[in-house]
Amino acid sequence: MYEFHGDKRRYFEMTHKVTVGHIIPFLQSNWSFPTDMRVLEIGCGEAGVLKAFTDLGFQCTGIELEESRLEFAREFMQAELVEGKVQFLNKDIYDVVPETDLGSRFDLIILKDVIEHIPDQARFMPQLHRFLKPGGRVFFAFPPWQMPYGGHQQVLPQKWASKMPYYHLLPGGLYPAVLKALGVQPNGIRTMEEIRSTGISIERFLRICHKSQFGIAGKKFYLFNPIYEYKFGIKPRTQLGVIGAIPVLRNFVTMGVYYLTESRK
């Protein structure tokens, strides 16, 4: 496991820098922010993304299932909490009622590196309409499942298990067998299997968007994901347009995608 996965302050700062340097410019190139924009992040973690939006003066809300991560968010965003710029909620998204639990609906919903961890995305994505104001947008950032580390094996503590690419694509029982051979413990194998069950490709994401009545307002594909600059010292690089236009193949060589979607309801 890489050191930064356990350093919550550093991870908070990395996600803040990526949001300032890449996510906000991407959004603004495809959409004009409302002056009184309200922002909701689902799966906000330590809230580095939301910090970038509160810095711009926007009202923000973060929802997170892991209370332990919200403890760090409250620590890192203590001033913003006191000033009423941000609020956090530890609750399952399916149980949240926007008007009573959150006080309003939102202009922008953010799911950064979250959709690939949610079971039954086809059930989940239509739920997002409940949280959106008319004309609202949803931003998604995720690694296509078939990319070299789409199985999130980099979080494993075992050296070779964390560094080997593509082996998460092994079929059936071969994948857990290889994990075991690499020294991964049963709990780690179960976690990797859970990630495999929710991994999502670009094509599947687009099919679910269409069925969920979300249109595509903007997109950007990265050969090297922007956060790699802070994790590994690798400069961001956008994917070649010709590669990004080839279904299926693009998933194997694209390490991150940004999509801005808009409700068609």
DSSP per residue over 147-216, as a string? STTTT-GGG-SSHHHHH--SGGG--TTHHHHHHHHTT--HHHHHHHHHHHHH---HHHHHHHHHHTTEEE
Instruction: Indicate the average pLDDT of the chain.
Output: 95
User: Is 48 in contact with 11 (CB distance < 8 Å)?
Assistant: yes
CA angle 57-59-65, nearest 5°? 130
Q: What is the dihedral of CA 161, 164, 165, 169, to 10 degrees?
A: -50
Q: Are 235 and 222 spatial neighbours (Cβ–Cβ below 8 Å)?
A: no
In angstroms, rounded to a whole number, what is the distance separating the alpha carbons of residues 30 and 24?
Answer: 10
Reported in sequence order, the residue ranges of the chain that DSSP labels E, i.e. its strands, are 38-42, 59-63, 86-89, 106-112, 132-142, 214-224, 237-238, 256-263
Please compute, for residue 82, the number of CA atoms within 13 A of its CA located in the half-sphere on the CB side.
5
Average pLDDT over residues 200-225: 98
pLDDT for 19 equals 98
Give CA torsion, residues 61, 65, 69, 70, to 10 deg: 40
> CB within 8 A of 29, min separation 6: which ones?
218
Beta bridge partners of 132: 106
Domain ranges of the chain: 3-146+199-263, 153-197
Residue 161's Cα: distance from chain center in Å?
Answer: 23
Q: What is the pLDDT of residue 232?
A: 86
- What pLDDT score was predicted for residue 7? 86
Read off the pLDDT of each residue in 191-212 and give the average, rounded to a whole number.
Answer: 97
Q: Which phi and psi (to 5°) does residue 257 adopt?
A: -130, 145
- Give the tens place of pLDDT for each residue, 163-191: 999 999 999 999 999 999 999 999 999 99
d(C-alpha 71, C-alpha 7), whole Å: 14
> Which pLDDT tens digit goes with each residue over 93-151?
999 999 899 989 999 999 999 999 999 999 999 999 999 999 899 999 999 999 999 99
pLDDT digits (tens, 9 = 90+) for 10-68: 999 999 999 999 999 999 999 999 999 999 999 999 999 999 999 999 999 999 999 99
Domain 3-146+199-263, CATH among 3.40.50.2300, 3.40.50.150, 3.30.200.20, 3.40.1190.20:
3.40.50.150
Distance CA 76, CA 19 (A): 16
- CA 240-220-69 angle, to 5 degrees, is 130
Place of tokens 């403890």: 71
Confidence of residue 1 (pLDDT cuts 50, 70, 90): very low
Contacts of 154 (CB under 8 A, 6+ apart): 1, 2, 162, 163
* R_g of the chain, CA atoms, integer Å: 18
Q: How confident is the model at residue 4 (pLDDT cuts 50, 70, 90)?
A: low
